[in-house]
Amino acid sequence: MEKQEMLALLQQVKQGELSPEDAVLRMKLEPFQDLGYAMVDHHRALRQGAQEVIYGAGKTPEQICGILEAMEARQATDILVTRLSEEAAAIVGAAHEMDYDPLCRLGVVKPTGRITAPGTIAVVSGGTSDMPVCEEAARTAEAMGNRVVRVYDVGVAGLHRLLAKLDILMQARVVIAVAGMEGALASVVGGLVDCPVIAVPTSVGYGANFNGLSALLSMLNSCASGVSVVNIDNGFGAGYLASMINHMGASEA
C-alpha cells in the first residue's frame, strides 16, 4: 500500500464510504504476505517511500515469479529485480512484462517510465569497465522515477575529460561517482560540485586493488566534504539513496 492509497482509504472513512473497522481490517491485511519462501512486504512504500526490491541472486525463477505475482496483484509497477542471471531472466520475462539489461543483470517489471522527482541524478564512471555497476545505479534510479544523465570514462588518468563535463555535474542534484583502481574519482568530484556525492567503489583493478577494497578505503578517507560511500559494486544501493535524496521536497516542487 502506497501513501496515496492510504490517503484514499482515510478519505473514504472521512466521507462515510468506509467504516473505521473496515479500514483497520484492510490495513491489517496489507502489511505483508507469507508465500512460505518469502514474506512480501506490501507496506514498504508506505514506510520508506519506495516499494520492496527483489534480490534475484540465490532465488529460483519460480520464487521470483511468485513474489512478482503477489506484488502485481496489489497493482505494483516498476518492480526492480536485481542481480538476475540471463537464464533466470528468460524464464521470468516469459511470464512477466520485464525490461532486462544483461550488462548490469537488472530487470524492471511493468516499467512505466514515470518521472516523479524534479532534479537530475548524474552517474559518473572512472572507466568503461565500471559500466555494469554504473548501469545498475542508473537503471535503479530511473525505475524509481528520476531523470538520469550518464558521464562515463572520465577517470583521473585524464582529468580534462571530467572537466569537460563539469557543466552537467554542476546541474545535478546528486552525483554518483563509480570507480575502481584507487577510487580517486569520488574525491575529485566531491571537490567540484555543490550537491551530495555518493561514491561507489568497484572491484575493477589489478592485484593490489584487492577486489575493490583499496577503492573503498580511499573513498572512505576522502578529504572532500559531502561524499558518502556505499559497499563495493553496490550500484543498486547508490541509485536507491540518490533517488531518496532527489525526491526530498519533490511534493513541494
* Whole-Å CA distances, 141 to 113, 120, 129: 11, 10, 20
Separation between Cα atoms, residue 218 and residue 166, nearest integer Å: 22
> Using the 8-state DSSP alphabet, how is residue 100 labeled?
E
Q: 101-120 burial string, b = 16+ CB within 10 Å, else e?
A: beebbbbbbbbeeeeebebb
Q: What's the pLDDT at 12?
A: 86
Q: What's the pLDDT at 253?
A: 46
Where are the chain's structural domains? 20-109, 120-252
CA proximity to 108, closest of 128, 75, 82 = 82
CATH number of this structure's domain 120-252, picked from the four choices 3.30.70.520, 3.40.50.410, 3.40.50.1970, 3.40.50.720: 3.40.50.1970
Q: What's the pLDDT at 10?
A: 82
Divide the 253 residues of the chain into consecutive groups of 10 and give the mean pLDDT of each group.
68 86 69 77 75 92 94 89 96 95 96 93 96 98 96 92 93 96 94 96 93 96 94 97 89 51
Do residues 165 and 133 lie in contact, with contact meaning Cβ atoms separated by under 8 Å?
no
Max distance between CA atoms of the chain, in angstroms, equals: 68
CA proximity to 86, closest of 62, 54, 61 = 61
Separation between Cα atoms, residue 173 and residue 244, nearest integer Å: 11
Please give the sequence-ordered ranges of beta strands (E in DSSP) within 36-195, or none if there are none. Answer: 39-41, 54-55, 79-82, 98-101, 106-109, 120-125, 147-151, 174-179
Cell of 109: 517489471
* Whole-Å CA distances, 155 to 57, 104, 120, 151, 184: 30, 20, 21, 10, 8
> Rounded to two decimals, what is the model's pTM?
0.85
